Amino acid sequence: MISRRAMVGGTIIAAWLVGLGLLVRREYFQPRLERLAEAGHRVAPGAVYYGVMQGDRLIGFASSTIDTSESSITVNDYVVADLPIGGKPRRASARSDVTLSRALRMRKFTLSIHAEGPAINATGAVDGDSVLVLTIASGKAKPETQRITLSGPILLPTLIPLAIALGEGPKVGRHYVLPVFDPSSMSPRDVGLDVRAESLFVVDDSAVVDSATSRWRGVQPDTIRAWQVTAQSKGGFSGWIDDQGRIMQTTQLGFELRRLPYEVAFSNWQRDAARAVVSSDRDVLETTAIAANKRMTKRVDALRVRLSNVDLSGYDLSGQRQQMSGDTLTIQPEPPDAMRAKYKLPVGGRILDSADTRPEPLIQSRSGEIMRLARQILGNEHDPRVGAEKINTWVHDSITSRVTFGVPNALEVLRTRTGDCNEHTQLFVALARAIGLPARIAAGLAYVDGKFYYHAWPEVLLGDWVAVDPTFGQFPADAAHIRFVIGGLPRQTELLRLMGNLQIDVLSVNAAR
């Protein structure tokens, strides 16, 4: 059953990766640029350490270090954790190094992410104040470079707490509006943040070894004042920060980043990692699943559910076969016209040029390996529906379903022939685009054995956008797929808002006969 429940994939790492693109523009600080520049000279060097916690269990370590010189500030962030996914701990790490001017203007950065599969490495450099040159590489694949137009100096979102604390200072009731760069649309948008509360945290300043347990424990407690910053929408930071802009505590996907002495965070984690066992009450796949109030045993043709307990604004719930009315979502079968395309597939070397047939980072639809395989699968077929079904069948039959944890890479999936829903979807989209078949990624929830699990699947453009599922071998995908977002990993991180909060009530089900 584990292979059927591969519903989370690389979501947590994606949350780190998406931080690469969420860039805060200079306009937020107008007319406070002079104050922010002064704040840059007040940044103090130092290091803080964190334990990555799942409940009361220490599953990882994190650090944040600031160094200063007369002309620059460098910020180095590192996190490593053994994440309980698919019945075993899966180690993942991310490291970022950012160089700023003393006025807190970003000059360059590097980011590396390591998990299962090839590492992801990215570098960025600001050319003047108008262009960000971004290069992303994965494994042995050729690096891809983009030039992103900017309207002024920028900061990475990991530095938002620093800018809030030193630029104006946090105060309960204060509201911030940050224009950020949204990587899913490659355009800026506003994100609101509120300072909701003020409190005192007791943090141990150092540590000693407990002779009874042979574990490190904190001593010399210190009281630190902190403020709760809450983002009103995606792309912002939510958590507690101190008056120096250092994170005190933040939570995501049920994991807490808690400030601790170095020995307590690092040495105790290393000790625990050697004996880590993943039970069902800790497995991310199970703890993020949502139990259904009605059991569905057959393929679902139509579904009506009530969604509650979360803010659903910004999600792609309405469109194509899904219709949202109030808090009720209805999913109907695709009408016959949606399954009939009004175009013919190109073959040979001719590729239709549209946004949904172009390559993207890690969807290498113009790769020679991908294109040769896609043409082989298609053969002499010109009907887009038949071509899409052939690709769906090939991916389902050829890729071994296995829970993985990493950033999906179409070329790597083709070479390893293994993966979960993210890998199946990434390869399907690359193969479809290689033959001119418009395809995109959708993500949300899918029903399996009494629960809704987080899942990803492709959509292809025929007469309309049609959901298919190469992981489950469904063409089209049944109505037990509830789409929340359209797009790759940057959009899929928006599902984090749902986890642990969303409630689903199944109102009616029409099962296939």
pLDDT tens for 360-402 read 878 999 999 999 999 999 999 999 999 999 999 999 999 998 8
Is residue 87 predicted with pLDDT exceeding 80? Answer: no
Lowest mean pLDDT among 162-166, 203-207, 443-447, 448-452: 162-166
Give how far Cα 200 sits from Cα of 114, 224, 240, 313, Å. Answer: 35, 6, 10, 33
3-state helix, strand, coil in the chain (%, to 5): 20, 40, 35
Which neighbouring-strand residues pair with 503?
308
Q: Is residue 472 within 8 Å of 5, Cβ to Cβ?
A: no
pLDDT exceeds cutoff 90 at 42: no
For tokens 């379903």, what's the residue?
A: 401
What is d(CA 240, CA 229) in angstroms, rounded to the nearest whole number? 6
The residue type of 78 is Y
Tokens of 128: 């003047």
C-alpha distances in Å from residue 83, one per residue of 67, 90, 278: 30, 5, 9
Higher pLDDT: 16 or 233? It is 233
Contact partners, residue 165, CB within 8 Å, separation at least 6: 241, 242, 243, 244, 245
- For the segment 443-471, what is each residue's pLDDT rounded down to a tens digit? 999 998 889 999 999 999 999 999 999 99
Q: Of residues 271 and 393, which shows the higher confidence score? A: 393
Residue indicated by tokens 């309309």:
464
pTM, entire model: 0.71
Residue 207: pLDDT over 80: yes
End-to-end CA distance of the chain: 24
Average the pLDDT over 353-358 and give the result. 79
Share of the chain above pLDDT 90, in %: 41
Say how far apart CA 225 and CA 212 lie, in whole Å: 33
Domains of the chain (ranges; CATH) run: 2-273 (no CATH), 289-511 (3.10.620.30)
285 Cβ contact partners less than 8 Å away, ≥ 6 residues apart:
2, 5, 6, 7, 8, 85, 86, 403, 453
Look at residue 124 and tell me whether its pLDDT is greater than 70: yes
User: Which among 5, 2, 3, 1 has a CA at the least distance from the CA of 447?
Assistant: 5
Q: What is the mean pLDDT of the chain?
A: 82
Other C-beta atoms closer than 10 Å to the C-beta of 42 total 8
- pLDDT band at residue 478 under the 50/70/90 scheme: very high
Could you give the CA distance from residue 409 to residue 96 in angstroms, rounded to a whole number? 21
Q: How confident is the model at residue 1, as a pLDDT?
A: 35
pLDDT of 254 reads: 66
Cα 48 off chain centre by: 25
The pLDDT of residue 308: 94
pLDDT at 470: 96
DSSP code of residue 327: T
Q: Which residue has the higher pLDDT, 31 or 138?
A: 138
| pLDDT exceeds cutoff 50 at 9 | no
What's the pLDDT at 8? 40
Query: What residues are paired with 48 via a beta bridge?
Result: 64
- Beta pairing, strands 418-419 & 400-401: parallel
